Amino acid sequence: MAKEKKLVEAITSMEEDFAQWYTDVVKKAELIEYSNVKGCMILRPNGYAIWENIQKELDRRFKETGVENVYMPLFIPESLLQREKDHVEGFAPEVAWVTHGGMEPLQERLCVRPTSETLFCDMYSNIIQSYRDLPKLYNQWCSVVRWEKTTRPFLRSMEFLWQEGHTAHATEEEAEERTIQMLNVYADFCEQILAIPMIKGKKTDKEKFAGAHSTYTIEALMHDGKALQSGTSHNFGDGFAHAFDIQYTDKDNKLQYVHQTSWGMSTRIIGAIIMVHGDDSGLVLPPRIAPVQVMIVPIAQHKEGVLNKAYELRDRLAKSFSVKVDDSDKSPGWKFSEQEMRGIPTRIEIGPKDLEANQAVIVRRDTREKIVVSLDEIETKLAQVQETMQQEMLERARAHRDAHTYQAANYEEFKELIANKPGFVKAMWCGDEACELKIKEETTATSRCMPFEQEHVADTCVCCGKPAKTMVYWGKAY
C-alpha cells in the first residue's frame, strides 16, 4: 500500500498550488519530459498521441473546407522577413538566427521560422498570376521557434508544434469570410471534441497579430480562472500583398492585389485540455480526443479465466474503441491510479465474480461513477457512457466558466473583481488604447476579445468614463 500511495501523493492539489499541480500532471501523466535544450520540451508517447488525434481531427475539418497541405522551408532569409514592417517588428525580439553554415559565415542571416507568412507570401507572388489561380487555400503542419525567456510545458516553449493556414483570395469579402470560417472550425472542434466552450471574438488593435488587418480569437477559461487564447484567425487585407507584390489579373484584365488570411492552433491547446478538465487525481481526457479510451483492469488476474476474458473483451471492444488491457503484475489499486493519472476516460474492471455473473464494471474517470453492465451489451453501454461523459464534461466546463464570468460597470468594481475573483470580467470600453494600457498596468488584466455576442453592460468606458463603443472580455491570461 505504501507504494500505491506514492503515486497519488506525488501530485499537489489544485486548490493548494495550481501551477505546481499543472507541472505535476504533465510529468506524472507522462505527457512530456524536460530536455537538455533549455525551454524545449520532449513530447512523450502519451502527449504526442493527443497531438496526433488533434491533428487528425483538425486536418479532416480543414480539408472539408477545401484546404490543402504543403510544406515550407524551416529557414527564412533576413531580407524576406523584413519586407513587411509591422510583421518584422512584432517578431524581431523572439527570432533565432542562423549565422554560420558549417565553419563559413553566411552572407545573409537566416532566421528559424517563428511563423511562415513571409515564405507563403513569397511563394504566392510566384504562383499567382490570374484570377483562375485563386483562391489558394494552403496549410502546413510544422514546428516554429520563438526565443521565449520563460517557458512552461505546452503553454509556452521555444519550439512548439502547430499548424498554420495561409490563404489568398480575389476579394476582401472572401478573405473575411475565410477568416471567420476557420475561427468557427476551431471553436466547433474545441467544443465538440475537446469539450471546451469558447468565447469567439475580435482582438483589439493592441492585441492583434503583427501585420494583420484584424485578428479573431477563441478564448477559454481555465479551472483557476485564467484565460487561455486557444486559436487565432487573421485577416491581412492586402497589406502583405503590397509588401510582397502578390498581384493577379482579374476578368477585365486589370491587375489586382490579393487579400490574405492566416490561422493557427498549436500544442498550447493541450495545456487547455489539462487545465479545464483535470482534477486532483490527474488528467481527465474527453473520450473523443483520448488516445486510449478504455483501460481494462483484470481483478485477481491469476485466477483461471480472468485474463483470457479480459483479452477477449479487448478484442471485441477494439472494433469500436481504442482499448488496452493492463495485464502488468502491479496491484489493481496501482493500475487504477495510473489510469486515472493518465486521464483515460473509462476503466472496465473484470474479476472472477463478474465472470460468473457474465458482467463487468465500467468506471467513469470524471465522476468515478460505477456502472455494472452485462457482457452481452457492453459495446452499447460503453458507447453511451462515453457519449454522456463527453457531453457532461462540456456542460461542466461551461457552467464553471459562466460561474466565473462577472461584469463591472465602473473602474472600482472592475479592480475589485480582477483582484479577488479569478475569471472573465465583462466591461465596456471606449476604444482608446490608453485605457487598455492603464488597465493592464494597474490590474495585470488584458483585453481578451470583443465578443461577437455583444451585451450592453453600461453606457460608459469602465476605465475613463467616456462613452463606450463595445463590450470587452477582460481577464488575466496565460
Q: Which of 121, 435, 445, 471 binds Zn ion (CB under 5 A)?
A: 435
Q: Where does this chain touch Zn ion (CB under 5 A) — which range of 32-40, 47-55, 202-210, 430-438?
A: 430-438
Is residue 158 within 8 A of residue 126, CB to CB? The reply is: no
Q: Which of 463, 471, 474, 475 binds Zn ion (CB under 5 A)?
A: 463
Strand order in the sheet with 104-112: 75-77, 104-112, 96-101
Q: Which is nearer to Zn ion, 73 or 467 (CB)?
A: 467
* Distance of closest approach, residue 461 Cβ to Zn ion, in angstroms: 3
Q: What is the CA radius of gyration of the chain?
A: 25
Q: Which of 76, 295, 310, 430 binds Zn ion (CB under 5 A)?
A: 430
Q: Which helix (H) or strand (E) holds 63?
A: helix 45-64
**Residue 471 in the binding site for Zn ion (CB under 5 A):** no
Count of residues that bind Zn ion according to CB under 5 A: 6
**Residue 439 in the binding site for Zn ion (CB under 5 A):** no
Q: What sign has the CA pseudo-torsion 381, 279, 230, 40?
A: negative
Residue spans of alpha helices (H) in 105-149: 117-127
Q: Which is nearer to Zn ion, 146 or 448 (CB)?
A: 448
Q: Which of 224, 464, 470, 477 binds Zn ion (CB under 5 A)?
A: 464
Grid coordinates representing 307 are 485474463
Q: Which is nearer to Zn ion, 242 or 466 (CB)?
A: 466
**Residue 461 in the binding site for Zn ion (CB under 5 A):** yes
Q: Where does this chain touch Zn ion (CB under 5 A) — which range of 18-26, 43-51, 317-325, 426-434?
A: 426-434
For residue 470, the Cα-to-chain-centroid distance in whole angstroms is 27
Give the β-pairing of 259-266 and 159-169.
antiparallel
Give the β-pairing of 346-350 and 68-69.
unpaired
Residue spans of alpha helices (H) in 71-151: 78-81, 85-91, 117-127
* Distance of closest approach, residue 412 Cβ to Zn ion, in angstroms: 15
CA dist list (Å): 247 to 9, 42, 255, 273:
62, 42, 6, 42
Q: Where does this chain touch Zn ion (CB under 5 A) — which range of 19-27, 219-227, 313-321, 428-436?
A: 428-436
Q: Where does this chain touch Zn ion (CB under 5 A) — which range of 6-14, 211-219, 274-282, 461-469?
A: 461-469
Q: Which is nearer to Zn ion, 161 or 430 (CB)?
A: 430
DSSP states along 246-291? -EEE-TTS-EEE-EEEEEEEETHHHHHHHHHH-BTTB----TTT-S
* Distance of closest approach, residue 463 Cβ to Zn ion, in angstroms: 4
* Distance of closest approach, residue 408 Cβ to Zn ion, in angstroms: 13
Q: Which helix (H) or strand (E) holds 110?
A: strand 104-112
How far is Cα 463 from Cα 288, in angstroms, rounded to an integer?
Answer: 42
By CB under 5 A, what part of segment 62-101 binds Zn ion? Answer: none
Q: Which is nearer to Zn ion, 355 or 428 (CB)?
A: 428
Q: Binding residues for Zn ion, per CB under 5 A? A: 430, 432, 435, 461, 463-464
